[in-house]
Amino acid sequence: MNTLPSPHLPPAAALSRIRIVLSRTTHPGNIGAAARAMKTMGLTRLVLVSPRYFPDAQADAMSAGATDVLAAAQVCATLEEALAGTVFATAMTARRRELATEPLWVREAMAELASLVASMEVVRAPGNAGGEVAIVFGNETSGLSNEELALCPRWAMIPCNPEWTSLNLAAAVQIACYELRLAIVGAGDTPIVAEAGARATLDEVDGLIGHIERAATASGFLDPASPKRLMPRLRRLFGRATLEKKEVDILRGLLTSFDQPKKRN
């Protein structure tokens, strides 16, 4: 071997170890919308347990182009089959259950999966033999059966309005995948715009404020003998605004124009 295996999976590899399992889905549109939700968060491995209709044109339409996820989806007869080869499975449930193990909230549950996956060995064998995990979602109306829940060592819930808990299946997949991406990849670089103009230096902002002060005094708006809170307020405003150089130039040009108006023709 030319390279030593890394002790931790990189984020993209970690995401590829996670199966999204939808059990007994009734509406094919939800399968497509779930595929779209997965792909926006960088997940690709969809497993369907006896879906009512699949493949289906409505699934394709609702996937909005995540047809690669649908095309690669594995269809199984049972949840046991869908979980074959996994080392851990988290069941999403909307209801409190009797005799339940204590569920986690989705944020903690996805962090748990992320840390499990991150600690997995990098194995080059086909089929991710180093281990995979699954997140399991039940039927739109009835959720997961007790038999299905019993196959999952962890149960998780999405916090919601206790008076109206009717979360759409694909919306639940979206929230779980969003939390998973944050836990594994993080939000990423702050989305700063590189094209933003160069920031003004503090000296330049001071120059502007001095300019305003002189202009305001000259115009009689500011009485230097009784300045009140005008200048501190302006200073706070421009401090908060984090001005660009170009903007300082514009504002100073404007001030100058008040003092030296151009003659109209």
Residue (83 or 109) nearer to a second copy, CB: 109
| Residues paired with residue 38 on neighbouring β-strands, in sequence order | none
- Determine which residue in the list 31, 59, 120, 158 makes contact with a second copy, applying CB under 8 A: 158
- Determine which residue in the list 13, 16, 26, 42 makes contact with a second copy, applying CB under 8 A: 42
Residue (24 or 107) nearer to a second copy, CB: 107
Binding footprint of a second copy, residue count (CB under 8 A): 49
User: What span, in angstroms and rounded, lies between the C-alpha atoms of 78 and 43?
Assistant: 22
Minimal distance in Å, beta carbon 193 to a second copy? 4
99 binds a second copy (CB under 8 A): yes
Helix or strand run (H / E) with residue 261: none
- Tokens 């230096």, residue located: 201
39 binds a second copy (CB under 8 A): yes
Minimal distance in Å, beta carbon 144 to a second copy? 15
Residue (128 or 174) nearer to a second copy, CB: 174
* 12-46: b (≥16 Cβ within 10 Å) or e: ebbbbbbbbbbbbbebbbbbbbbbbbbbebbbbbb
In the sheet with 154-157, reading across from the earlier edge strand, the strands are: 74-76, 45-49, 18-23, 132-137, 86-92, 154-157, 104-105
- Determine which residue in the list 3, 166, 226, 260 makes contact with a second copy, applying CB under 8 A: 166
**Please, which of residues 4-23 interact with a second copy by CB under 8 A?**
none
210 binds a second copy (CB under 8 A): no
197 binds a second copy (CB under 8 A): yes
Please report how many Cα atoms fall inside a 13 Å half-sphere around the Cα of residue 17, on the Cβ side. Answer: 32
By the criterion CB under 8 A, which residues form the site for a second copy?
33, 36-37, 39-42, 64-66, 96-100, 102-103, 105, 107, 157-162, 164-168, 170-171, 174-175, 178, 181-182, 185-188, 190-197
